[in-house]
């Protein structure tokens, strides 16, 4: 008797490694690099041929939407975009109902939304795999691209010192989760009142304790996080939905800009990452973002290749 394969939701990085081993995450990065190489040679394979993917976006997007739409197309599938304003979700249809209906039409669902609970509810009721394109707590798709970019630039992931500068937001959560899974050394510099999620931090530290390698530290001074760092990552100070807090956040985050002065304390040729969109000369200096050696634009492009790998994994289509 054939066994029924468990549905593969990708809600956090831990979805790839429920047992705590990093092999699936590393394999996903390898696969994304293979897709990138294949695209440079004219493409290879259409594992999503005849399959459709729903893209539910309750938050606006450039990179996530375009990268997923093109990834689905180049893999041979068809993407269906649904914004809240143009679907029944905008009129209050329960996620449970949307999940069941879309599962009858589509082979996978990508959701970009607010609370992590919304992505989890969608996954609970959908029979199709659900991929987290961003929530307020996690941004796993972005982190796969970030890790791929580090691999391209430095050749390895382990043995490097990572720094996060800024808000303890969804990107910080996913970096923390990556550190726990891979046993990385990560130092986060967050202003008072803007710490990373306590539960995410505790879970990652528990994994590090079990593995016996890696370290996660939260500090107040950006200089302490950046000291000797091989990889420095940051994000905007006020994300979408936080516009009313922008003035207060600018005051709280003063001194948390990634610029030449901060990089003087980092390792030589440190890789600087930003998930975009960026506010030039606010959280990152324009001269760093636009430098010829900037990794940010390769990081953005890598969203396409990692999205292909994630879709392939979720649909078990490799």
Catalytic site residue from 118, 139, 249, 307: 139
Q: Which strand (E) or helix (H) includes residue 161? A: strand 161-165
DSSP conformation letters of 31-74? HHHHHHHHHHTT----TTTT-EEEEEESS--SHHHHHHHHHHHH
Number of CB atoms found within 10 A of residue 97's CB: 12
Catalytic residue at 242?
A: no
* Whole-number Å distance between alpha carbons of 151 and 204: 21
Q: Write down the catalytic residue from 146, 167, 230, 235.
A: 235
List beta partners, residue 306. none
Q: Does residue 136 contact residue 302 with C-beta atoms inside 8 Å?
A: no
303 Cβ partners below 8 Å, 6+ apart? 63, 64, 67, 141, 142, 145
Q: How far is CA 157 from CA 58, 99, 293, in A?
A: 33, 36, 19
Question: Which one of 31, 112, 249, 307 is the catalytic residue?
Answer: 112
Q: Catalytic: 88?
A: no
Residues 6+ apart with CB under 8 A from 206: 180
The whole-angstrom separation of Cα 110 and Cα 259 is: 35
Q: Does residue 117 carry a catalytic annotation?
A: no
Q: Which of 136, 138, 141, 142 is catalytic?
A: 142
d(CA 177, CA 203): 8
- Is 303 a known active-site residue? yes
Q: Is 279 a catalytic residue?
A: no
Selected catalytic residue, list 230, 249, 275, 305: 275
Residue among 31, 303, 305, 307 flagged as catalytic: 303
User: Is residue 249 annotated as part of the catalytic site, yes or no?
Assistant: no
Catalytic residues: 112, 139, 142, 235, 275, 303
């Amino acid at each position: 008797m054939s066994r029924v394969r468990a549905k593969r939701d990708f809600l956090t990085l831990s979805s790839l490694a429920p047992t705590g081993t990093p092999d699936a995450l590393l394999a996903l990065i390898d696969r994304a690099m293979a897709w990138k190489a294949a695209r440079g040679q004219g493409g290879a394979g259409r594992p999503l041929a005849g399959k459709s993917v729903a893209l539910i976006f309750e938050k606006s997007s450039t990179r996530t939407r375009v990268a997923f739409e093109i990834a689905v197309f180049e893999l041979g599938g068809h993407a269906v975009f649904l914004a809240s304003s143009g679907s029944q979700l905008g009129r209050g249809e329960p996620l449970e109902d949307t999940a069941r209906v879309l599962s009858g039409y589509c082979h996978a669902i990508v959701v970009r939304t607010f609370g992590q609970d919304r992505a989890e509810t969608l996954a609970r009721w959908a029979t199709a795999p659900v991929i987290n394109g961003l929530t307020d707590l996690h941004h796993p798709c972005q982190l796969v691209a970030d890790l791929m970019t580090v691999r391209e630039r430095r050749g390895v992931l382990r043995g490097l010192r990572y720094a996060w500068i800024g808000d303890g937001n969804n990107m910080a959560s996913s970096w923390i989760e990556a550190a726990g899974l891979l046993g990385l050394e990560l130092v986060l510099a967050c202003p008072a009142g803007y710490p990373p999620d306590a539960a995410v931090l505790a879970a990652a530290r528990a994994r590090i304790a079990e593995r016996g390698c890696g370290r996660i530290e939260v500090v107040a001074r950006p200089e302490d996080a950046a000291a000797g760092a091989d990889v420095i990552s940051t994000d905007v100070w006020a994300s979408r939905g936080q516009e009313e807090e922008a003035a207060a956040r600018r005051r709280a985050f003063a001194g948390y800009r990634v610029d030449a002065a901060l990089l003087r304390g980092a390792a030589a040729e440190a890789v600087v990452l930003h998930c975009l969109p960026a506010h030039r000369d606010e959280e990152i200096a324009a001269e760093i973002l636009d430098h010829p050696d900037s990794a940010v634009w390769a990081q953005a492009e890598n969203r396409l290749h990692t999205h292909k790998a994630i879709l392939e994994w979720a649909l078990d289509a490799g």
